[in-house]
Structure 1
Amino acid sequence: MSRTLALATLGSMTARAVLRALAGVGGLDRTNFRGNTVSLAAGPALAIGASVSAAAGAGSAPAAGAALVAGLGSGAVGFYDDVVGGRPEHKAKGFKGHLGALREGRVTSGLVKIAGVGTAALAASALLAASRPGRGRFGTVADVALGAGVISGTANLFNLLDLRPGRAIKAGALVAAPLAAGRSRGLVAGPLGAAAGVLPDDLGERAMLGDAGANAFGALLGVALAARTGPAGRAALLAGLAGLTAASERVSFTQVIQRTPVLRELDALGRRP
């Protein structure tokens, strides 16, 4: 328990330090859903704090590398999209829109983010597979592919959830709660601490996670999920993630939350009225 608390403290302190360091940095102000001006600083703060503390608690060099690659890689390309994604030359709607822009000769920040998150997830999954010898070539390839799907899928899902202050962090806490009691607790304690460190600023609408924070937080939880499951478990997780992602194209998560009393109350907890 003391080690778990130490990792959570490390994550929180690192995230708060980065958040303070970015205070007042120009070019990070954005408008949130309410029309208020907030800073993008919570994104890199969460990405760095969560990645460093997850690596510290990973328990092995391959798992530590997977945490750093997934968290910092996803956070970096997410931050790039946060910063330049609003420019006219980068605007496109959905994956098809980004591919359409590519056919026109434009490489959008969204496409860079998609490719970057996928590459980081693949590298992280390969590092995790290095600690699971004896599966054979086909088994290893399948294991890496499924793990990459889980990590990138979780990163994308949390990005889809990050439409209201605190929502992605609360969802992450629900996902991480059972993991914190298992053998992957070292991988999730730090990210939970980092998330708690930026939560007051997120709920208070002083800073927002953006793609940097949501992608990194989701990717790190994906690493923890992939680390504790075998091929069958990863396949089940990937199917669930794919289903939720497909559903998001047809159904608004915000509307579902608003129509469900328990989810509505949890979603609004701590948020400004």
Structure 2
Amino acid sequence: MAGFIMALAAALVLAGPTAAMLSRGLAAKNYRGELIPTGMGLVFLMAVLAGLGALVLLGRLDREPALAIAFWLTMVCLAGLVDDAAGDGSSRGLRGHFAALLGGRLTTGIAKIILIGGGALVAVDWNSGWRALVQAAILALAVNLLNQLDLRPGRALKFFLCIAAVVALRGNALAAVGCGAAAGLLKGDLEARYMLGDAGANLLGAVLGLAAVQTVSPGAGQALLMLALAAGNALGEFSSYSRLIAASPILQWFDKIGRQAGK
């Protein structure tokens, strides 16, 4: 609970000033063509780190695991921030970025894939043998899945909160801290006052992926999770989550909860 409260407080305090700062130098058009601040994943990162720091100070989380988590999340945030700041949007999805690479053009998306992939390989426990590759795949696939979902105000955050809350109730401290940070950013995202950007969407997936690795039993459980995430990635790559949501009244209702009319 302490980590949740600290992360929530940090997100609430930092959201407004950071959005104002980003609006002067890091803004992008949302799906409606409105120019709003992006890269709010920076606030999510700072809030999660504040929550983890509180847990370390209270003796509820060891320092070394906290540093490993901080490294992974910072790598993911920086990778997304590069895309937010320098990406031109000409290449979309994994297929688009790899097609550009085959055409001799290195996109910020490819740089992001390299950074996140490398970070995932460093973040996992290689003492577990081949299971480490499964865990690294879970981390990378979770990052990309949340990135695919972040196409409408509040969508990725609501998905994250639903899953992370379940994991947190099973005693996972990282998921609880993530819930606090996400809750602090939800209102502004739903009102389209700012965007999480790749930095934020990537971080949501990074937190969920690592919390899942910490919670799901190694072996068959994690292998099944990896396959489920791979299927989710393929669905988003070859279809459209927005179209799938629009085709389901229940999903459409949930997707619009808290969103302003017309948003």
- Same fold? TM cut 0.5: yes
1:169 correspondence with 2:157: yes
- What's 2:111 paired with? 112
1:83 correspondence with 2:85: yes
User: Could you tell me how far apart the structure 1 residues matched to 2:177 and 2:239 are?
Assistant: 33
Cα shift at 1:104: 5.2
Count how many residue pairs are aligned between Structure 1 and Structure 2: 254
User: Could you tell me how far apart the structure 1 residues matched to 2:194 and 2:40 are?
Assistant: 5
Query: What amino acid is aligned across from residue 24 of structure 1 in structure 2?
Result: M
User: Could you tell me how far apart the structure 2 residues matched to 1:55 and 1:224 are?
Assistant: 17
1:262 correspondence with 2:259: no
2:37 to 36, 39, 44: 39
SS at match of 1:165: coil
User: Could you tell me how far apart the structure 2 residues matched to 1:75 and 1:196 are?
Assistant: 18
Query: What amino acid is aligned across from residue 229 of structure 2 in structure 1?
Result: L
- What's 1:214 paired with? 201
1:42-86 residue CA offsets vs partner (Å, 9 max, x unmatched) = 221112212442465472344313321222111111011011102
How high is the TM-score relative to the length of structure 2?
A: 0.89
SS at match of 1:35: coil
Cα shift at 1:117: 1.2
- Alpha carbons 2:165, 2:176 under 8 Å: kept: no
- Alpha carbons 1:11, 1:53 under 8 Å: kept: yes
- What's 1:249 paired with? 237
Alpha-carbon RMSD: 2.0
Written as runs of structure 1 = structure 2, the 5 A alignment for 1:23-34 is 23-25=20-22, 26-34=24-32
Cα shift at 1:247: 1.4
Query: What amino acid is aligned across from residue 211 of structure 2 in structure 1?
Result: A
User: Could you tell me how far apart the structure 2 residues matched to 1:30 and 1:198 are?
Assistant: 18
Percent identity between matched residues is: 34
Written as runs of structure 1 = structure 2, the 5 A alignment for 1:50-65 is 50-54=48-52, 56-57=54-55, 59-65=61-67
SS at match of 2:129: helix
1:190 correspondence with 2:177: yes
- Alpha carbons 2:39, 2:199 under 8 Å: kept: no
The 1:224–1:198 alpha-carbon spacing in structure 2 relative to 1, beyond 3 Å, is same
Cα shift at 1:29: 1.4
1:12-32 residue CA offsets vs partner (Å, 9 max, x unmatched) = 222234333422342211111
- Alpha carbons 1:187, 1:224 under 8 Å: kept: yes
- Alpha carbons 2:164, 2:178 under 8 Å: kept: no
User: Could you tell me how far apart the structure 1 residues matched to 2:248 and 2:53 are?
Assistant: 37
1:180 to 165, 168, 192: 168
- What's 1:228 paired with? 215
The 1:226–1:55 alpha-carbon spacing in structure 2 relative to 1, beyond 3 Å, is farther
User: Could you tell me how far apart the structure 1 residues matched to 2:92 and 2:242 are?
Assistant: 19
SS at match of 2:225: helix
Cα shift at 1:97: 3.8
- Alpha carbons 1:92, 1:98 under 8 Å: kept: yes
1:133-165 residue CA offsets vs partner (Å, 9 max, x unmatched) = xxxx6xx23121111111111111000000000
In structure 1, stretches of 5+ residues that fail to align are 130-136
